[in-house]
Chain A
């Protein structure tokens, strides 16, 4: 008798043994099976719709047919809103910085124009150094 034939006969004996389990064992196996199935159905019965931002951490919870429509749109919208707000914020800060810089330059120009400096002075090469050195004392 070769290995396969021997194994086949052993298998028949094992099947016979498995079919003759004690009643208590069969009952406990049945209970365990039902408990396992209840866990499975509890997972499947989870609500299909969850808040959009919560979906990001859920990892593909929207497996149901109705979960792929409205909730996925909310999910995308929920991601897009903070990105748009961030972009608007960055542009606003840049604009505010530009306005501030322009206002400072304009103030300087205005102060220079109000002064009674002769016009030829502006063409002098040392006038910039003079303004830089004299400005703190003037203010």
Chain B
């Protein structure tokens, strides 16, 4: 069982990555902070009796579920808005927003990244390009290569097959390399 100090230390180390992942996904700082806070609450309330070694994978799954919950709530909200709005179309009612979510030029995240570009930070450009990846590719790439999960753990967290994880990671790598090359960045 993790002590309070161990739990605190774990959260202090994981919260920044969790925030960045949520920010890449939802592209709104306040929503990303809410997601991370919600995930922290869930972990400490329901899983603080687990061993410290189990916490990283548990927290990763909780964060991913919290991000999914956010998109589900957003979808329900947009469905109601669509229902009551005569001007909106309902072409993509059955589509999963996570599969096709692309960054929109001119959004808050893009402006923020532009500021970072002006400061000459390559990190900012990389983060921007990661946030532009399709959601499932980004999720697989970050879980696999940033959270250090293996293919099986990533597949379990994403609730898909291991083959899909490999495909998502490969496509994310190719898309990211291509996008960075196009912006003059060679890693």
A76 to chain B, nearest CB (A): 24
In the bound assembly, the distance between CA atoms of A125 and B19 in angstroms comes to: 100
- Tell me whether B63 is interfacial, beta carbon within 8 Å: no
Contact with A along B1-34 (1 / 0, CB 8 A): 0001001100110011101100000000100010
Check if A10 sits within 8 Å of B187, measured CB to CB: yes
A1-35 residues at the B interface, CB under 8 angstroms: 1, 3, 6-11, 13-14, 16-21, 25-26, 28-29, 32-33, 35
DSSP class of A's interface residues: helix, strand, loop or mixed? helix
Task: Please name all residues of chain B whose beta carbon is closer than 8 Å to the beta carbon of A29 when the two chains form the complex.
Answer: 15-16, 19, 33, 36
In the bound assembly, the distance between CA atoms of A10 and B12 in angstroms comes to: 22
Assuming A14-B130, A18-B19, A32-B37, what are 17 further A-B pairs, CB within 8 angstroms?
A3-B173, A6-B187, A16-B123, A17-B123, A17-B127, A19-B16, A25-B19, A29-B15, A29-B36, A32-B40, A33-B8, A36-B45, A40-B4, A41-B4, A43-B45, A44-B48, A63-B49
- Tell me whether B122 is interfacial, beta carbon within 8 Å: yes
User: Which residue of chain B has its CB nearest to the CB of A21?
Assistant: B16
A27 to chain B, nearest CB (A): 10
Contact of B20 among A10, A14, A28 (CB under 8 A): A14
**Interface size class, chain A:** 20 to 34
Task: Please name all residues of chain A whose beta carbon is closer than 8 Å to the beta carbon of B146 when the two chains form the complex.
Answer: 11, 14
B62-80 residues at the A interface, CB under 8 angstroms: none
Check if A13 sits within 8 Å of B37, measured CB to CB: no
Check if B16 sits within 8 Å of A18, measured CB to CB: yes
Assuming A19-B16, A28-B33, A41-B4, is B43 touching A36 (CB within 8 A)? yes
| Interface residue total, chain B, C-beta cutoff 8 A | 38
Contact with A along B161-187 (1 / 0, CB 8 A): 000000001100100110000000001
B147 to chain A, nearest CB (A): 10
A37 to chain B, nearest CB (A): 6
In the bound assembly, the distance between CA atoms of A18 and B22 in angstroms comes to: 12
- Tell me whether B149 is interfacial, beta carbon within 8 Å: no
User: Which residue of chain B has its CB nearest to the CB of A17?
Assistant: B123
Check if B177 sits within 8 Å of A36, measured CB to CB: no
Contact of A35 among B41, B144, B173 (CB under 8 A): B41
B137-165 residues at the A interface, CB under 8 angstroms: 141-142, 144-146
In the bound assembly, the distance between CA atoms of A11 and B142 in angstroms comes to: 8
Check if B187 sits within 8 Å of A9, measured CB to CB: yes
Check if B173 sits within 8 Å of A7, measured CB to CB: yes
Assuming A13-B122, A13-B126, is B44 touching A37 (CB within 8 A)? yes
In the bound assembly, the distance between CA atoms of A102 and B76 in angstroms comes to: 74
Task: Please name all residues of chain A whose beta carbon is closer than 8 Å to the beta carbon of B187 when the two chains form the complex.
Answer: 1, 6, 9-10
- Tell me whether B124 is interfacial, beta carbon within 8 Å: yes
Contact of B145 among A7, A19, A41 (CB under 8 A): A7
Check if B33 sits within 8 Å of A25, measured CB to CB: yes
Assuming A6-B173, A7-B141, A21-B19, is B33 touching A32 (CB within 8 A)? yes
